[in-house]
Every structure is written in C-alpha cells, then in structure tokens.
C-alpha cells in the first residue's frame, strides 16, 4: 500500500486506521528510533491531543521506539506547545513527538516531530518515508516501562511566573478552546493570575461537538463573538485543536495573524530600544505588515510553514515570526516556537499599556487595502509544483493585457508585485491544491489582479 500522502512537508498526518494503522505507526516509531540514535539521542518525550484515537497511536508508536531501545517519556494529554516546552525545560529528553491532528477534522491525526531541539521536516520526513518502505518488521508489543512525566505543571508554573504582570487583569475575557487541549493549560494559568474569564468549550473532546477547531476561519468564531456581545466582554482568545494557533478578538475587531505581528512588533520595539527588531512573515502576509515592521525594525518575507519559520527565526535571531493562520513564534523572551497560549497572554499584555480603543484604532487606521481570503484551487499532487514553475516562467513575458509587474518573489510559490497590490499562487505542501491570495489598494484593482492572474494560470494547465 502507498502511504506517500501522509508524509507531509512539516509533519506526518492522515486518517486514523485508513492511513495511520498499527503497521505504519509501529514502523514510524521503529525508524524514528534509528534516526534518534544516529543523532546521539537515546530518549524522547511523547504527548497527545484530545482525539479519541491519540492514546492508541501512542501505544503503537512507543512500541516501535522501544523495540529499538529508545526510552519513552509519556507526557499524556497536553497542548502541542507543552511538547515543545519539554525539550527546553531541561529535565527530560531533547526530542519530542506530539500526536495531534491539529486543526483538522476529528478523523485525522498525526505526528509533529522535534529531534535534538530542531524541527524534523522536509527532506528528513521524506528520508524517513523511504526507510519505512524498505523496512521488514511487524508490530511487536513491548513490555518495557514508560515513565510518566508532568511537564504540563512545569509549563503552567513557568507561564504563570512569566506573566505575573497580568495578575488581576483589568478586563474580563472570553476563551474558546474549541474542545481542543488548550484549556488544560490555559485555565490553571488564568486562575493563578486571577483573570476573570468566561470559558467556551474548554473540556477536551476529540469529536469536536461544538465547532471545528480552527480559529483562523471566521465561521468558527461565531460562538465566542455571541458571548462577547451578550455578556459585554471586550476581549477574547480562541484556539485550535492543539493550541498552536491563536485568534484575538476585541469589541470591534478580529485580528488577523499579520495584524497581530504588527502589534507585537511595535511592543517589542519599545521594550528592546534602541535595538531594532527583525520580524519574519510568510508569503501570504499583507504588504502593510511588512511596511509597518520596516518602520520600527526590519522585516523578512519567508516560506509558509511552522517548521520553516522556526528555523528562519533562529537563523536570523529574529524577535518574532508570524503566519496568517495565527501561528505566532516568539524568540523575544521565549524559545522560538509557535505557542498560542503564550501568544494569547502576550496579547493580553498589550492591553496593560493601551486601551482597547487605542489598540483597535492602531490597526483600523492602517492604510486601507482590499484582500481576498486564502482560496484553494484543486489540482493534481503530481502537477502542482510544475504549474507554479510554468507560471513563474510565463511572468517573464506575460500577455500584453496583464497588469504591470514590478517584481516577482519566488521564495514560496509566486508572489507577483503589481503597482498597487500583489497576488500569490503557491502549491500547498500538505494537500493537492494551489493556494491563492490577492491584495490591492482598491476593490477594482483587486478583482483585476485576481482575474488576470487566474486566467494566466488556467491557460497553463
């Protein structure tokens, strides 16, 4: 059976039993153990999210690891950031696996892997896949001891101390955990800090009975917005299934990932002055974000994907990186990985120094642009990258009617810089689709840029 599709750019992900069955998960553990030993690692921390099949995957994965002599530490039910935290807290292994389907539907699950404190992604995942295909082993249950460890309590204590300035926060807030795992860490922290909050769907339930666990989609914020209106709550935080995506809402605005980057960049610039922060964004971020960050520091455009941004953040020793989807990476005062709980508390800090109206106005007063949401065009997995290459080549000699091009950025797909806007077409690294996004200074130009770019793309198929 072919399992190519589960070995993605940033993680391993698929449907339980259909893709992630006992045989393949055992082999993932068995092969990963060899990689660990080749890097001088002898142990690993494993945690899992709220999905009903996560404990089963844990059992299969640890059997494969233990069969190769790797010591397994069990962190139990935790948010993904706690798995990352486990390798920096200094008490256990330097590597971790988080068993999670993240923001995907309930039937999905997967593995986010960090080895020797570095993301395991891209070519490493593909090499792992090739080793698994040639592996001739069968699942063998292991009776070796698994040591249970309480990293969650350490994480809660760390963030409680780190954010002591938020004690007795002056505003009530709402928190929507979407029945993911954010609540197991966030609620104790909020209680420790004596922050008044209204909880929505904080109990972990891997069937996600209330709404889909992805706060980057507006439709999934309707419940928390209703509670804000009904109870006159001025600030809210919403999280995805494994708590590495954040959404911030205030009375009159829902903040996109690039808008959060602007707010955080400004705050960091004040804290570290006269040093100027380096801020990293991905190719889907607004031109406004890059312009605003360049006013107080310097901005860098880079590839989409949490692993890509973590590596770039360390390489440049940047203060912050951000994705439109709500993955926020703090290297300033933190460890450089995407932690929505940490980012949510950093967001609350903003309101200690400025009123809600001032924060809202600082975003609403930015230059007005018109943009599309991220839109996906189904295509063939084998053809998607070839289409991007064809598009890039065609832009060197576009049709006579095509809008004037100022530049073409090809760091991740094709971002076309027009005179008064831009358009993006990139191949998704996780699904057989092309992802598009457009932005312009007027609605008319937005429609023009989109129409002409998609027409050119269609002519290449």
Which residues are 427's β-sheet partners? Answer: 434
Asked about 13 being catalytic, the answer comes back as: yes
Long-range contacts of 352-356 (CB under 8 A, 24+ apart): 352/165, 352/166, 352/169, 352/170, 353/267, 356/171, 356/234, 356/235, 356/250, 356/251
Q: Is 9 exposed, middle or buried (0-12, 13-18, 19+ CB in 10 A)?
A: middle
DSSP 8-state symbol, 220:
G
- Catalytic one of 54, 86, 95, 102: 102
Beta strands in 100-232 (DSSP E): 108-115, 118-119, 147-148, 173-176, 197-200
Other C-beta atoms closer than 10 Å to the C-beta of 196 total 12
User: Mapping DSSP to helix (H, G, I), strand (E, B) and coil, where does residue 113 land?
Assistant: strand
- Catalytic one of 13, 266, 306, 415: 13
> Do residues 369 and 441 make contact, with C-beta atoms less than 8 angstroms apart?
yes
Asked about 437 being catalytic, the answer comes back as: no
- Catalytic one of 306, 327, 415, 437: 327
Give the torsion sign (CA, 25, 83, 187, 232).
negative
Which residues are 279's β-sheet partners? Answer: 299, 320
Q: How far is CA 29 from the centre of its chain?
A: 24
Rounded to 5 degrees, φ, ψ at 71 are -80, 130
Beta strands in 29-84 (DSSP E): 43-48, 71-77
Asked about 39 being catalytic, the answer comes back as: no
- Active site (catalytic) residues: 13, 102, 327
């Amino acid at each position: 059976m072919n399992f190519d599709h589960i070995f993605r750019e940033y993680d391993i992900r698929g449907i339980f039993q259909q893709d992630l069955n006992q045989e393949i998960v055992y082999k993932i553990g068995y092969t990963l153990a060899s990689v660990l030993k080749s890097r001088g690692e002898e142990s690993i921390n494993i945690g899992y999210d709220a999905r009903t099949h996560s404990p089963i995957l844990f059992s299969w994965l640890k059997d494969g690891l233990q069969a190769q002599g790797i010591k397994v530490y069990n962190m139990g039910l935790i948010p993904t950031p706690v798995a990352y935290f486990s390798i920096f807290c200094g008490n256990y292994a330097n590597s971790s696996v988080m068993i999670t389907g993240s923001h995907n539907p309930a039937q999905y699950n997967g593995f986010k892997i960090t080895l020797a404190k570095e993301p395991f992604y891209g070519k490493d995942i593909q090499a792992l896949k090739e080793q698994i295909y040639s592996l001739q082993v069968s699942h063998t249950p292991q009776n070796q001891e698994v040591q249970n460890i309480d990293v969650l309590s350490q994480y809660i204590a760390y963030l409680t101390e780190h954010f002591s300035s938020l004690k007795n926060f002056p505003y009530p807030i709402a928190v929507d955990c979407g029945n993911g795992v954010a609540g197991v860490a966030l609620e104790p922290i909020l209680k420790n800090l004596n922050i008044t909050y209204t909880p929505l769907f904080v109990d972990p339930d891997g069937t996600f009975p209330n709404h889909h666990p992805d706060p980057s989609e507006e439709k999934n914020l309707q419940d928390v917005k209703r509670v804000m209106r009904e109870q006159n709550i001025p600030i809210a935080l919403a999280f995805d299934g494994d708590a590495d995506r954040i959404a911030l809402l205030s009375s009159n605005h829902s903040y996109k990932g690039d808008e959060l980057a602007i707010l955080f960049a400004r705050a960091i610039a004040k804290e570290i002055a006269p040093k100027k922060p380096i801020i990293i964004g991905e190719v889907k971020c607004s031109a406004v974000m890059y312009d605003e960050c360049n006013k107080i520091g310097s901005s860098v455009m880079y590839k989409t994907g949490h692993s890509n941004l973590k590596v770039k953040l360390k390489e440049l020793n940047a203060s912050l990186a951000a994705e439109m989807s709500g993955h926020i990476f703090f290297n300033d005062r933190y460890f450089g990985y995407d932690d929505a709980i940490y980012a949510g508390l950093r967001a609350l800090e903003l309101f200690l120094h400025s009123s809600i109206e001032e924060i809202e106005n600082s975003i609403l007063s930015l230059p007005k642009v018109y943009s599309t949401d991220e839109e996906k065009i189904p295509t063939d997995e084998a053809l998607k990258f070839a289409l991007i290459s064809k598009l890039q080549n065609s832009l060197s000699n576009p049709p006579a009617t095509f809008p004037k091009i100022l530049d073409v950025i090809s760091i991740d797909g094709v971002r076309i810089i027009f005179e008064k806007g831009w358009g993006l077409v990139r191949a998704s690294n996780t699904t057989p689709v092309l992802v598009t996004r457009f932005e312009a200074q007027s609605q008319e130009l937005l429609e023009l840029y989109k129409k002409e770019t998609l027409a050119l793309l269609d002519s290449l198929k």
